[in-house]
Structures are given as C-alpha cells and as structure tokens.
Amino acid sequence: MKNLNFIQKLLFLSLFLLLANVCTIAQKLSGSAKISLITVAPGDELNDSFGHTLLWIYDPANGIDKAYNFGGYDYDTENFYWKFVKGQLPYQMSYAPLDAYKEYYQKHNRKMTEQIMSLARGQKQLLYDNLEKTYKNPKTRNYMYKFYTDNCSTRIRDALMVACSDSVHLQNIPAMNDSTYREWMNKCLLRKHHYWAAVGMNAGLGTPADERVLQLNACYIPENLMKSMAEARRMATQHHLYYFVKSTKDLYPVTFVDDEPSFLLTPRFWFSILLFFTFYRTFRHWKKRQKGYFFDKILFGLTGFLGWVLLFLWFGTNHGVTNYNMNLLWAFPFHLPIIFWLSQNKAARDYWYGYYFILISLMTAMGLIFVAQYSIDTVPLVLALLIRAIYHAAFEREHRMTHTKFRKIIKGRHLEVIHLEHEQSLED
C-alpha cells in the first residue's frame, strides 16, 4: 500500500511537471505568420529623442497579434525616482496589439516604419518561443536597463540574432562605424534641439561613453538598427543569400514639424553672455586692483556643486557610463567650500590661494581640451572659469606671480606678499 501511494504521488508530480512544461511552450505559428521590426521615429520630448523599437509577431490564423516592447517600467516600483537616479530601476518587457501602439504614436505625430523580416518558418517559431519564455518568467521579463548596451533596441537586435543563429550577416555601413556612444547620443539630442539636455548629459558622462563603437553596438539607437537590418543578408539553404528585410513601409503618413528654438534660449547664448561678462569684470578688477572674490564665489561655487553631483554619478550610481568623468577637471568639487575661504582681508596675509589658482588653471585648461571635443556649447563656461583662475594666478596686480616671487618659490623660501608699491624697487 505504501508503494502504491508513492507511485501515485510520483505520477501526479510527473503530470504536474509535464503540464507546467506545456504551458511554457509557445503556441505553434502557422505558415502565414509574419515577423516585423517596427521602428518608431523620435518624438519632441526628451525621453522620446532616441526613438523606439518594437518586434511584432502577427499570425491571424492563430489569433496572434503581439508587438513586444522592452521599454516599459512600473511607476509603482518602491523608491521609483531614487532607483531611476541611481540606475537601478528595473525595466520590463510587455506586449500589446500593434494597433494600440499605432493609435498612440500617430496621435503624437511619430512615424512608424514596418520592416517585414525574411525568416524561415523554424526561425520564426524559435523567435516566438524565446520571446514567450522570456515574458512568462518574471526574472527575465524584468531587466536592468543600460542606455548604451541593454535597452529596447539592443534586446530586439539580440533576439533576432539568437533566433537566426549565424545565418544573418550584417553588411558594412561606413557611416555607422565612425562614432562613439556619446557622438550617437549627441546626434539624436541635437537633431531634436535638446541643447540644454545635451549639455547636462555630456557633463554627466564619463570616458566609457567615448568608446568607439562598430555597427552592431551602434544599434542601441533604433534608427541605426532599422538601417542595419535593411542592409543585412540571411544565408538560406544551398548557400543562397537573401535580404534580411523582405519589404519596408510606413504604417501611416505624418507631418514633419521642426521647431527650432530661439537662439536666446540656448546654452550657447547664455554661456557666451557669461564669458563676455567675465571678460568685462576681470578687466575692471585689474584696472581697479580688485580681487573680485564675490564674483568668484558665485562662479566657482556653482561649478563646485556640479562637481559633487558628478562625483555622486560616478561612485553612487550604477549607470555604467558615468565613471572616470573628465569633466571633473573643470567642475572641481573642492571649489565648494574652498572658494568661500578666500577673503579680501586675508589675501594680504595668505599666499596659498596663488598655488590653488595655478593648479585650477592647469586643470581647467585640460578640461577645456576634453570638453571642446564633444560639447561646444559648454566651452564658453569653461573659458570663463579659466579666465578667472589665470587672473588670480598670474595677472592680479597686487599678487601677480613676479620674477622675484617665482625665484623664492624655486628656492623653497617662505613666500611673502609683495605689495605693488615695493615691487618695482625689488625688481630693480
């Protein structure tokens, strides 16, 4: 009797596992099933600047109409905004009928382009099975989003590559092999005139964003994935080559509107105003033999605050591309609080600030070289910092670095402040 009960339990467990396995197997696709790559054009909002990618599986014979989306997230996630800032917000895979997406994107005047993929029936089934398996498992349905390496576009790119094994061959597109992650990002932001966002995002990114990428990795941009798939080839039986995309069409017409913002609202204008104002104030300070520390406390204080933010992005977040940030050369965190230790009265007795501004001049000059490569709008701001640092280090009338002072520093002697009225006699 005990053996009989054991056998019954074993059979029940086997049946349960069999049913569970059957539930995880996706429905069989018919021969008329269609796999399409859907590319959504960029929108006007900042989070829409890079476009979007969907993978649509349509099989009317089996009632399947699923457009898979890897770009969603749950607003009810605990500590949503804090996790978003730290790069720890889980994104999730979802799907809906394509018409639901069409209604939304057409309302926002965003073009949708369909590329029907040329896949063998077995490849279609494998792709569908993998997508369903991923969706049904909460551990794989949710993932940690990485802007450059793991997003809505790269997930679909990888799904297509896995389903087709080594039968897909990307064709060389020279224009997609000559940029970095940062440069592709800037092209998208500037095309939609998000100039302030470009300044902020470039300031927050570190050297990992400057890695030069080849065509496959450039497909983190949905438009690049669309172009890359359009030129790709698929190897079929008997070594026949086919285009990976069978046909391409726009799902509905859109009206292109390019709203260029006024130049008066751009960072280039305001930072240029700051630069000219810095020139003017520095010249006035030099003529009146003033130090102008009040102006410096505002300028360097705000820059120091930015530096602490960049340090937090480096060490306190998990974005993966904010490490080793060279912008810290000009956005030096220790401006805050060092700049507030300077005072008009103490400067006559203290000389350490001269060394401080010499160091800052060198660091800011190196930072300027780095910034000029990718964010021309930020250059006037960095130049303003450099002008003030050089003024205090070498051209401030009362405390400029004279030949006599330099000799004392080289010899290791105590540096005393040399007032202007005694300077000429010492040099003679």
pTM of the predicted model, to two decimals? 0.82
Q: What is the 3-state composition of the chain as percent helix, strand, coil, each rounded to the nearest 5? A: 55, 15, 30
Contact call for residues 106 and 25 (beta carbons, < 8 A): no
What's the DSSP call for residue 275? H
Which tokens belong to 169? 């061959």
Contact call for residues 171 and 231 (beta carbons, < 8 A): yes
- What's the pLDDT score for residue 167? 81
**Strand bridging mode 233-235 / 64-73:** unpaired
Q: CA 350, CA 347: separation in Å to the nearest integer?
A: 5
- Helix crossing, 152-163 with 121-136: angle to 10°? 130
- What's the pLDDT score for residue 85? 73
Domain ranges for the chain, please list them.
24-177+214-250, 263-427
Count the Cβ atoms, other than its own, within 10 Å of residue 370.
Answer: 17
pLDDT per residue as tens, the chain (428 positions): 444 454 444 444 444 444 444 444 558 998 889 999 999 999 988 888 999 999 999 999 999 999 999 988 776 777 766 777 777 778 899 999 999 999 999 999 999 999 999 998 999 999 999 999 999 998 889 888 888 999 999 999 999 999 987 788 888 888 888 899 999 999 999 999 999 999 999 999 999 999 999 999 999 999 999 999 999 988 876 667 888 999 999 999 998 877 888 899 999 999 999 999 999 999 998 888 888 888 999 999 999 999 999 999 999 888 889 999 999 999 999 999 988 887 656 544 456 777 888 899 999 999 999 999 999 999 999 999 999 999 988 776 555 554 455 555 555 544 444 444 444 444 44
Q: CA 93, CA 135: separation in Å to the nearest integer?
A: 7
Q: Which residue blocks in 221-292 are alpha helix, DSSP H? A: 222-231, 267-287
Contact call for residues 203 and 310 (beta carbons, < 8 A): yes
- What's the pLDDT score for residue 52? 94
Q: CA 282, CA 68: separation in Å to the nearest integer?
A: 58
